[in-house]
Amino acid sequence: MGKRMSLIVVTLVSLAVAVGGYEWAEGGGMGQKEGEDWFMLQHSKHVVKTDAGDMRVVKGFGSRFIKSSIHIGFINMQPRTLFIPQYLDSSLILFIHRGEARIGHIYKDELVERSLEMGDIYRIAAGSAFYLINTAERHRLHVICSIDTSDSLGGHTFQPFYVAGGTYPTSLLSGFDRQTLSTAFNVSEAELGKMLTRQREGPIVYLSDTHSSSAWSIFLDMEQQQRLAQMRKIVRMREEDIDAENEQPTWFFRKLLISVFGKVDKRVQDKRGKTKTGPDSYNIYNRKPDFENNYGWSIALDESDYSPLSHDDVGVYLVNLSAGSMMAPHIHPRATEYGIVLRGSGTIQIVYPNGSLAMNAKVTEGDVFWIPRYFPFCQIASHRGPFEFFGFTTSARNNRPQFLVGANSLLHTIRGSELAAAFGLNEDKLKRIVDAQRESTILPSAVMRQL
Ligand SMILES: *[C@@H]1O[C@H](CO)[C@@H](O)[C@H](O)[C@H]1NC(C)=O
Ligand SMILES: *[C@@H]1O[C@H](CO)[C@@H](O)[C@H](O)[C@H]1NC(C)=O
Ligand SMILES: *[C@@H]1O[C@H](CO)[C@@H](O)[C@H](O)[C@H]1NC(C)=O
């Protein structure tokens, strides 16, 4: 028993070494420094880069005082490519920014497949094996995702585990003893050796015929039910071992191997290519804006709109400001916000709670910023065109922003002599100032006001 356990521990450790864990060196410019850089997340790293695509991760903010477990991932895939089966120790909320995708993942021990299109939001739980395919013949796929590391093995880092693979990346099957695996698959060790060393092209590969004999295609085809039944037995055996000594790693096997290898035959699809079980995706572009006026619109998705968001307590939002318009100064009383510029350019102003300017930065497409809970801020579109940004908030409950300016502002609600006294003004003067802006939430530009 003890020996088997340590074998598994060694397997886990060697896996982590093999794939290298997505780790960041401490003190790489994040954490201590304040000022403008503090709110722009510039520390990004390619975690996957192959001919067929790449994945870049922008590290979320983290210091001793303010912890955030969210990183932002950008996945780019060429037409007809596959992000090979893997699972992470972090949960993902995917947003299909451009292109279309097919995603397969394990949900409650079944393989769920979904066709995703532009604007779709979809969640993959930590420990749930998944693969992603760009099905398009000509178009690239661009996905933006939040990576929530709160359940991760290494705290602030995250770790992929590849189910299928070869020498690069390493399949987690490689960790098993060859003889055991040979028995399990009912093939010779030599054949097995071929299967586990052929894949050298990295985690994102082309889905062309010439590659169809590689390890991952065996996974996708899944014709070998007999062999896989054997696999299940081995997994169960090991699981019992682990259970006896330590309950923790059980999910590792149960969620991954038994389900992946055991239930794939149960995949049932309806006419639209959707599996009947498991959660659906949610298309943010098909939703009616929660707020809209002549100067722009905004959408905020919380768990009441899309229940999978409740698992990680993460919300999703999308804002479109017309040229020159501004999201009125406001604060988030409950959540930290992450933003990614999708289109256009603009300015983000952030103020410390003590009333001094923290950042006044120009941002353009692809930039990532964050705003800590309680910090007042506003976003302003440049005059050149619309400014579109998307992002995540660290609360899936209706996170009512508190506006500081405009017809729906706090000042409007409080008003009265106390407020006037606090500003050192008489009530009439204060009323004139507070009432001057008739619009709320999204405000017109200075130029338009003068017209
Ligand atoms: C293993 O393979 C052999 C020959 O290919 C076959 O006869 C046998 O039934 C297989 N065993 C299992 C358990 O699938
Ligand atoms: C944002 O608004 C502009 C017009 O101001 C419009 O052209 C664009 O399509 C909008 N974006 C989305 C995603 O609807
Ligand atoms: C406000 O707080 C920030 C951050 O703690 C600090 O850098 C700044 O000096 C403070 N400003 C004032 C006027 O106290």
Put simply, whether the predicted model's pTM sits higher than 0.85 gets the answer no
* DSSP 8-state secondary structure symbol assigned to residue 331: E
Q: Is the pLDDT of residue 8 over 70?
A: no
Q: What average pLDDT does range 31-50 have in this prediction?
A: 74
What is the Cα–Cα distance from 451 to 442, expressed in whole angstroms?
A: 18
Least confident residue range of 55-69, 318-332, 350-364: 55-69
CB of 182 closer than 6 A to ligand 1? no
Q: Is the pLDDT of residue 237 over 50?
A: no
Pocket test for ligand 1, best of 182, 226, 228 (most atoms within 8 A of CB): 226
CB of 183 closer than 6 A to ligand 1? no
pLDDT of residue 189: 82
CB of 35 closer than 6 A to ligand 3? no
Task: Residue 104: name the closest of 90, 117, 88, 85 by CA.
Answer: 85
Least confident residue range of 32-41, 139-148, 216-225, 337-346: 216-225
Q: Is the pLDDT of residue 177 over 80?
A: no
CB of 352 closer than 6 A to ligand 3? yes
Least confident residue range of 109-113, 160-164, 189-193: 160-164
Greatest mean pLDDT among 131-140, 190-199, 377-386, 420-429 lies in: 377-386
What is the Cα–Cα distance from 147 to 163, expressed in whole angstroms?
A: 20
Burial class (CB in 10 A: 0-12, 13-18, 19+), 294: exposed
Pocket test for ligand 1, best of 182, 183, 185, 186 (most atoms within 8 A of CB): 186
Q: Is the pLDDT of residue 194 over 90?
A: no
Q: What average pLDDT does range 409-423 have in this prediction?
A: 86
pLDDT of residue 272: 46
**For ligand 1, atom 14: residue with the closest CA:** 226
Q: Is the pLDDT of residue 244 over 50?
A: no
Distances (CA, A) of 54 to 45, 48, 49, 304: 11, 5, 4, 33
What is the Cα–Cα distance from 296 to 287, expressed in whole angstroms?
A: 15
Distances (CA, A) of 216 to 82, 105, 118, 272, 290: 9, 14, 26, 25, 43
Q: Is the pLDDT of residue 19 over 90?
A: no
Q: What average pLDDT does range 187-201 have in this prediction?
A: 74
* Average pLDDT of the chain to the nearest whole number: 75
Q: Are 211 and 204 in contact (CB under 8 A)?
A: no
Q: How confident is the model at residue 165 (pLDDT cuts 50, 70, 90)?
A: low
* DSSP 8-state secondary structure symbol assigned to residue 263: S
pLDDT of residue 411: 87
pLDDT of residue 13: 28
Q: What average pLDDT does range 332-350 have in this prediction?
A: 94
pLDDT of residue 245: 41
CB of 226 closer than 6 A to ligand 1? yes
Centroid of ligand 3 to alpha carbon of 71 (angstroms): 27
CB of 379 closer than 6 A to ligand 2? no
Ligand nearest to the CA of 224: 1
For residue 394, what are its two tokens?
């660290």
363-388 burial by CB neighbour count: b if 16+ within 10 A, else e? Answer: beeebbbbbbbebbbbbbbbeeebbb
Q: Is the pLDDT of residue 110 over 70?
A: no
Q: How confident is the model at residue 151 (pLDDT cuts 50, 70, 90)?
A: low
Q: Is the pLDDT of residue 132 over 70?
A: yes
Q: What average pLDDT does range 170-194 have in this prediction?
A: 74
Least confident residue range of 276-280, 304-308, 374-378, 428-432: 276-280
Reply yes or no: is the peptide bond before residue 169 cis, omega within 30 of 0: yes
246-258 burial by CB neighbour count: b if 16+ within 10 A, else e? Answer: eeebeebbbbbbb
For residue 4, what are its two tokens?
């088997």
Q: Which residue has the higher pLDDT, 422 or 197?
A: 422
Q: Is the pLDDT of residue 379 over 60?
A: yes
Burial class (CB in 10 A: 0-12, 13-18, 19+), 213: exposed
Q: Is the pLDDT of residue 419 over 70?
A: yes
Q: How confident is the model at residue 178 (pLDDT cuts 50, 70, 90)?
A: confident
Q: Is the pLDDT of residue 299 over 50?
A: yes
Task: Residue 58: name the closest of 39, 47, 45, 76 by CA.
Answer: 45
**Could you give the percent of the chain with pLDDT greater than 90?**
32
Q: What average pLDDT does range 414-438 have in this prediction?
A: 87
* Residue that has been written with the tokens 């003889």 in this structure: 179
CB of 322 closer than 6 A to ligand 2? yes
Beta-bridge partner residues of 93: 123, 146
* Residue that has been written with the tokens 């009530």 in this structure: 427
Q: Which residue has the higher pLDDT, 88 or 281?
A: 281
Which ligand 2 atom lies nearest to the CA of residue 285? 13
